[in-house]
Structures are given as structure tokens and as C-alpha cells.
């Protein structure tokens, strides 16, 4: 194992450039540890984002040697072949500075996809019980553990080409709500999902599924949305 890592870090805005740093190699070091070491020991002006360090908050995504990753759970030993790391901001979102991107457009897709639970009961109503073996609940459960990291959004080339596309994370969220029997917002949600920029813009190449750090499969969720939207259209519940 090389004693020192050669680390290229993106500095500046979208017109910035990579700058090279030397960082001591440590056992069990993560990519986020490397970025933090540079900020604490070499350049305090380096901007980047993290919170939990344990794979829960979804704020530490960066491009590492050409691939979007959650950096707090990515060990250097797995990605730094030859002792070299290239770390940049994630793609498909505007760079604010260095490794920090503006997530506004990403969260706007969640709003646009009606990714907010719409209650069908009041606070006074008894709590609905959805049995664990319920098929819709199982479909929702399989997609629910999203940490909003935008790794899939950065990996999706439809997002890159089509600014109207809602993207894998927002559509995956919509799928969980569509399968939530307590939710009352599905007519409105399905109309958006079936429209331009919705599920039919996905070409199912599975880059989102391949990169999702928590093992979700947005492609499968989007395939479910396509089936559900088509059924709603055939029943006359939504327009063409
Ligand atoms: S499968 Fe669909 S959502 Fe996933 S990366 Fe490909 S185009 Fe994007
Ligand atoms: S689906 Fe996976 S990659 Fe996409 S935002 Fe959620 S956790 Fe991140
Ligand atoms: S810092 Fe929270 S997921 Fe990486």
C-alpha cells in the first residue's frame, strides 16, 4: 500500500479545475476522510457537504474516479487503484463551489412528482393497519429506504439530456406512495407521472439501480409506474 495518496480535487465553480494534493494513507480510510483531511490540514477553504458519516443523511455524494458514490461509506482501498483518487462534484446539478452542488433542482423533482404523503384520514381516525404480507405494502417497502443522496440522479443520462425529466429518485418515491393504501393523492400523482418528463421518459438502462448505494432499484419502481399509468389511462382515470 502506498504511504501517500495522490488526490485530485475539483476546486471552484463549473469553470473550475482539478488541483492535486498529497494525503497520508490510513487503514480503513474513506473517501470522505480524505476530503476532510485536505480541508483540515491543507486548505480550510475547501467546500464540501456531509453530516452523518454513517450512510444515513445522503449529503456526502461526490464523483469518485468517474463514478457517483456516497463518500462516507466508500473505502479508499476499494476505489484508489494505483494510489490515485479524482474527486469532483456530482453531475447533473450546478456546482456551487468545489465539491458542493446546488440540490434545488433535485428536490424540486420530488415536489413535482407529488412525493409528499397525502393523508386519507384525519388525526382522530384510528391508525390504519396494513398487514406485512400485503402486496402493495411489500412493493412500497422494497423502495422506501431512499436517503435522498442524488447518486442515481447524477448517474442518469436521461436527466442529463431532458431537463423536464423527474428522474429516478422522485419517481421511486412516487412509486412508494402509489402503493401506500393510506395515501389519497394518487389521481394527481399519476397524471404527473404519465405526462412529459414522467415515467415514460425512462429508457430502463438501470444506471440508477447500478449506482444506488443502498441497493434500491428505481428502474423497477419506474417500470411499475409505467404499468400503473397505462392501466389508469385504459380505465379513463387519466388523459392521454
Ligand atoms: S433506468 Fe431510467 S431512471 Fe434509471 S438511470 Fe436509466 S433512464 Fe435514468
Ligand atoms: S434511490 Fe438510491 S441513489 Fe437514488 S437518491 Fe435514493 S438512495 Fe440515493
Ligand atoms: S455523510 Fe451522511 S450519508 Fe454520507
Give residue-wise pLDDT tens across range 92-119.
999 999 999 999 999 999 999 999 999 9
CA-58 nearest atom, ligand 3: 3
User: Domain spans of the chain?
Assistant: 4-101, 104-234
Give residue-wise pLDDT tens across range 152-182.
999 999 999 999 999 999 999 999 999 999 9
DSSP state, 61?
A: E
- Determine the distance separating the centroid of ligand 3 and the alpha carbon of 147, expressed in angstroms: 9
Based on the number of CB atoms within 10 Å of its own CB, is 82 exposed (0-12), middle (13-18) or buried (19 or more)?
Answer: exposed
User: Average pLDDT of 126-141?
Assistant: 95
Ligand 3 binding residues, C-beta < 6 A? 50-53, 55-60, 70, 72
User: What phi, psi does 63 have (nearest 5°)?
Assistant: -90, 120
- Determine the distance separating the centroid of ligand 1 and the alpha carbon of 193, expressed in angstroms: 14
Which single residue is written with the C-alpha cell 404523503? 117
CATH superfamily placement of domain 104-234: Alpha-helical ferredoxin (1.10.1060.10)
Q: Give the pTM.
A: 0.96
Task: Give the H/E segment covering residue 106.
Answer: helix 104-112
Q: In this predicted structure, what is the pLDDT of residue 240?
A: 63
For the record, the C-alpha cell of 45 comes out as: 477553504
CA-wise closest residue to 168 among 72, 92, 66: 92
pLDDT over 90 (residue 81)? no
> What is the best residue among 105, 169, 172, 217 to mutate for testing ligand 2's pocket, by most ligand atoms within 8 Å of CB?
169
Nearest CA to ligand 2 atom 3: 212
The answer for residues whose C-beta is within 8 angstroms of residue 177's C-beta and 6 or more apart is: 114, 115, 117, 118, 140, 183, 185, 186, 189
- Determine the distance separating the centroid of ligand 2 and the alpha carbon of 173, expressed in angstroms: 10
3-class secondary structure, 173: helix
Q: In this predicted structure, what is the pLDDT of residue 156?
A: 98
CA-149 nearest atom, ligand 3: 3
CATH superfamily placement of domain 4-101: Beta-grasp domain (3.10.20.30)
- Determine the distance separating the centroid of ligand 2 and the alpha carbon of 171, expressed in angstroms: 11
The yes-or-no answer to whether 4-101 and 104-234 have a common fold is no
Whole-angstrom CA distances from 74 to 31, 32, 61, 133, 213 are 6, 8, 10, 34, 9
Classify each residue of 31-46 as buried b or exposed e, where b means 16 or more C-beta atoms within 10 Å of its C-beta: bbbbbbbbbeeeeeeb
CA-wise closest residue to 92 among 77, 104, 75: 104
The answer for residues whose C-beta is within 8 angstroms of residue 45's C-beta and 6 or more apart is: none
Classify each residue of 171-184 as buried b or exposed e, where b means 16 or more C-beta atoms within 10 Å of its C-beta: bbbbbbbbbbeebe
Nearest CA to ligand 1 atom 8: 156
CB-CB contact of 25 with 5 (8 Å): yes
Give residue-wise pLDDT tens across range 23-45.
999 999 999 999 999 999 999 99
Give residue-wise pLDDT tens across range 182-230.
999 999 999 999 999 999 999 999 999 999 999 999 999 999 999 999 9
Residues composing the chain: 240
Amino acid at each position: 500500500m502506498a504511504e501517500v495518496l495522490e488526490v485530485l480535487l475539483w476546486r471552484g465553480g463549473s469553470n473550475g479545475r482539478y488541483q492535486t494534493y498529497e494525503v497520508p494513507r490510513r487503514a480503513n480510510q474513506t473517501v470522505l476522510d480524505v476530503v476532510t483531511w485536505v480541508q483540515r490540514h491543507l486548505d480550510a477553504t475547501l467546500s464540501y457537504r456531509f453530516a452523518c458519516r454513517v450512510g444515513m443523511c445522503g449529503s456526502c455524494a461526490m464523483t469518485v474516479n468517474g463514478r457517483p458514490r456516497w463518500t462516507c461509506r466508500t473505502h479508499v482501498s476499494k476505489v484508489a487503484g494505483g494510489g490515485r483518487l479524482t474527486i469532483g462534484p456530482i453531475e447533473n446539478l450546478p456546482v456551487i463551489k468545489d465539491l458542493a452542488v446546488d440540490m434545488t433542482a433535485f428536490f424540486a423533482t420530488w415536489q413535482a412528482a407529488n412525493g409528499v404523503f397525502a393523508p386519507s384520514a384525519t388525526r382522530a381516525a384510528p391508525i390504519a393497519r396494513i398487514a406485512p404480507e400485503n402486496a402493495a405494502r411489500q412493493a412500497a417497502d422494497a423502495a422506501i429506504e431512499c436517503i435522498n443522496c442524488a447518486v442515481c440522479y447524477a448517474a442518469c443520462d436521461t436527466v442529463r439530456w431532458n431537463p423536464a425529466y423527474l428522474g429516478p429518485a422522485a419517481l421511486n418515491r412516487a412509486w412508494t406512495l402509489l402503493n401506500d393504501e393510506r395515501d389519497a393523492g394518487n389521481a394527481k400523482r399519476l397524471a404527473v407521472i404519465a405526462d412529459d418528463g414522467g415515467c415514460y421518459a425512462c429508457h430502463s438502462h438501470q444506471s440508477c439501480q447500478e449506482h444506488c448505494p443502498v441497493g434500491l432499484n428505481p428502474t423497477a419502481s419506474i417500470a411499475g409506474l409505467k404499468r400503473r399509468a397505462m392501466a389508469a389511462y385504459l380505465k379513463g382515470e387519466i388523459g392521454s
